[in-house]
A and B are shown apart, each in its own frame.
Chain A
Amino acid sequence: MANTAKTFRLALNMASKSIGRRKFRAALTILGIVIGITTIVSLMSIGYGMQTEVGSALSDMLGAGITISSGGMGGMSATIPEYVRDYVLQVPGVKDCVPVITTIMEVGGSQTMVIGIDPDQAQSLYHVTLSEGRLARHGEDHSAVIGASMAERLGVHVNDTITLSSTMGGVGNTFTVVGILRSVGSSGISIGCFISLQAAQSLLKKEGYVSTLLVVLNDPSQATYVEHSIKQLFPEASVSSQEAILGQVNNILNIITGVLLALGAISLAVGAIGVMNTITMSVYERTREIGMMKAVGGERSHILLIFLSEAAIIGLIGGCAGNVLGLLMVYVIKLFASTIGLPFTIPLIISPTIIAAAMVLSLAISVIAGLYPSWKATNIRPVEALRYE
């Protein structure tokens, strides 16, 4: 093709004027693309934000690299003898092993998640921050640190007392609230209540047993090796590294994102058909014009470029509008989620990769959809087109 730059400018000029001549039709076509791109951008942004959020929440929450839990009841039944800890400590690479009871208990008529742990360890393993009071001290078996939402629900403050009882029944024990949690980790996930390990064991009548052993490693990169060693020692225990948990969560999120993306792709495909239709109509309306352009020396490549430019402009506008609307949508969903009080936040992460990918996708889909009708246009024979009324 002779002189691409000038032909390109001509093609863009003609394409934009052609779109301008049929504004309503162009607007509808662009809308088709916008819907697809909006869906994809908002879903990808939310998916990406969630992944980042969940990842950081998990790694924040568990200072431990490996978790050993009893098999049953979602790891909440206290069936691991406490002395196992001494064996685990012998495994090379293990820095510390913290016995924990994670369980559900009744308080004030409803159920809450309770963690029984040595108060000294709670800080380093769970990254708790307090809004009021202090953490329990070592040996304080009747002190509790409770979550903000629970405190609000029960209407208790520091130095008030609460009664925790096992879900299996029983009278329960009274605890003095010494501190109120602001948060655990960086996410807003609210754990109901921290009490000492001994208090939890006596409440469950499981003295000497724990539900979970949190293993702190010398070197996080040795997680797989240590996990393997522990599994050999205790084949019946359920051992999982934090990495594996993260992987599982990511897998689930990936599946959800994938399904949503497929929905976006379907709407984009419908948009592409719209582009194809519009370009076909444009070629049909301009048959004489095409014949004339060929008569005065226009080559196939010139004609192709003129019509592909039309598709490209549609794609470009669709991509821009789709990006803006998509990000707006994330913002609205974020507002909505916080209004109805979901226990987690959706971060508004504007990822340049997603924006760029959406633009390229929109442009590529439109141009590909325009390819067939544009190619048909190049096949128009001038003699016939000029005779055509």
Chain B
Amino acid sequence: MSRAVELHNVVKVYELGEGIKVEALRGVDLNVEKGELLSIMGPSGSGKSTLLNMIGGLDNPTSGRIIVDGIDITGMGEGELARFRRESVGFVFQFFNLVPILTALENVELPIVFEGKLSSRETRERASDLLRLVGLGERMKHRPSQLSGGEQQRVAIARALANDPSIVIADELTGNVDRETGSKILRFIQHLNRTLGQTFILVTHDPTVGQASQRILYMLDGRIISEPPKSVETPSKQVLIEERRQLILAELGWLRSSLIRLEESKDSMKTELYNQLMAGYASKLESLKQAIQGSQEAS
């Protein structure tokens, strides 16, 4: 049995112009077995989403090979990739990304229509079945704006399953719903994974998502690492006090230059305005004095 996903030394470099390059992926090797429920975790900017885009055929790697469901998608052109995405991959996005003007049913039908293999009636039946599967049988004619966040995410899941893809990838599946809805969706994904046997790859910040999966991969700086990365140390009290001191100094400097400018232009402005500005600066100075006092007490 071939693997669901095979990545060989995948590198992705973004060129931001003027010779500035960002290495989003620095040689990733990864094997995902069929039917696996995998989570990828890591801090922002670690390359999780880039990795997911590569597996989903949304972007081409700079080097390396990507094989999904036995198909080498590394060098595919735009049209081929579109077909690959349509037939083999289901996407669930963080912000649901449903078409706002279409009903839930029409949103689920979209990939089936793009595929074009089923008749109109079959398309409708398949989409209805999927919506019933995600528990939205009663809300098919509703537009996304008439659905809750959790319901929208379930429509998005139904849409991802529309063309019976071999893998489903989800970026921040629970990122935009409340905790309770998130855990419901998670249980539902586990259920689908067990019953339909589809491969799920989830990218997440949420540790509960990780716990629900069979395997967790950690990413840091464009590489897959074996251990979860240590959390960034909380800055020491001394550093915080120093930061505060710098801020107060900067504000004092601004106040001083403002006062000098005001005195210079005193003759050319109305007394009323001058008094008003002066009063403002005075109260600012007062609050700074208090801040200095506070920081001295703290240290």
List A residues at the B interface (Cβ < 8 Å). 1-3, 6-7, 9-10, 13-14, 17-18, 20-21, 288-289, 291-300, 302, 382-383, 386
Contacts and interface: CB of A to CB of B under 8 A. Distances in A.
Interface in B219-263: none
B117 to A, nearest CB: 8
Nearest to B78: A300
B100 to A, nearest CB: 8
Contacts of A302: 114
Contacts of A298: 82, 86, 110, 114
B101 interface: yes
A23 B83 CA distance: 34
Closest 5 CB pairs of A and B: A297-B86, A3-B116, A2-B116, A17-B101, A292-B97
B123 A294 contact: no
Given A18-B101, A289-B100, 4 more contacts: A2-B116, A21-B101, A296-B111, A300-B82
B99 A6 contact: no
Contact of B110 (A1, A21, A296): A296
Interface string B98-128: 1111100010011101111100100100000
Given A13-B106, A288-B97, A295 B91 contact: yes
A5 to B, nearest CB: 9
A297 B163 contact: yes
A302 B86 CA distance: 13
The residue among A2, A6, A289, A302 with the most chain B CB atoms within 10 A of its own CB is A6
Interface of B: 53, 56, 58-59, 78-79, 82-83, 85-87, 91, 93, 95, 97-102, 106, 109-111, 113-117, 120, 123, 159-160, 162-163
Contact of A14 (B85, B101, B120, B123): B101
A7 B114 contact: yes
27 contacts: A2-B117, A3-B116, A9-B120, A10-B109, A10-B110, A13-B106, A17-B101, A288-B95, A289-B97, A289-B99, A289-B100, A291-B97, A292-B97, A292-B98, A293-B114, A294-B82, A295-B58, A295-B85, A296-B110, A297-B111, A297-B115, A297-B163, A298-B82, A298-B110, A299-B82, A299-B83, A386-B97
Contact of A6 (B87, B93, B102, B113): B113
B69 to A, nearest CB: 15
Contacts of A9: 120
Nearest to A292: B97
Contacts of A299: 79, 82-83, 114
A292 B99 contact: yes
A54 to B, nearest CB: 53
A10 B97 contact: no
Contact of B82 (A6, A17, A18, A297): A297
A296 B116 contact: no
A295 B114 CA distance: 11
A296 B106 CA distance: 14
Contacts of A291: 97
A293 B110 contact: yes
Given A10-B113, A13-B106, A14-B102, A295 B78 contact: no
Nearest to A2: B116
Contacts of A293: 99, 110, 114
B137 to A, nearest CB: 22
A237 to B, nearest CB: 76
Nearest to B98: A292
Contacts of B95: 288
Contacts of B93: 292, 295, 386
A47 B113 CA distance: 48
A382 B58 contact: yes
Nearest to B85: A297
A84 B97 CA distance: 93
B139 to A, nearest CB: 18
B111 to A, nearest CB: 4
The residue among A21, A288, A296, A382 with the most chain B CB atoms within 10 A of its own CB is A296
Contacts of B101: 14, 17-18, 20-21
Contact of B114 (A14, A289, A296, A382): A296
Nearest to A286: B99
A324 B153 CA distance: 47
A382 B52 CA distance: 13
Contacts of B86: 296-298
Contact of A296 (B79, B85, B100): B85
Contact of A383 (B53, B83, B117): B53
A118 to B, nearest CB: 80
A291 B113 CA distance: 17
Contacts of B58: 295, 382-383
The residue among B83, B111, B114 with the most chain A CB atoms within 10 A of its own CB is B114
A350 to B, nearest CB: 38
Contacts of B98: 292
Contacts of B115: 2, 297
Contact of A7 (B102, B106, B113): B113
A297 B97 contact: no
The residue among A20, A293, A295 with the most chain B CB atoms within 10 A of its own CB is A295
A9 B121 CA distance: 13
Contacts of B56: 295
Nearest to A382: B58
B79 to A, nearest CB: 6
A103 to B, nearest CB: 75
A15 to B, nearest CB: 10
A10 to B, nearest CB: 5
Contacts of B79: 299-300
A6 B83 contact: no
B268 to A, nearest CB: 45
B116 A6 contact: yes
Contacts of B83: 297, 299
Nearest to B83: A297
A17 B110 contact: no
The residue among B83, B85, B109, B163 with the most chain A CB atoms within 10 A of its own CB is B85
A385 B100 CA distance: 16
B184 to A, nearest CB: 23
A133 B228 CA distance: 117
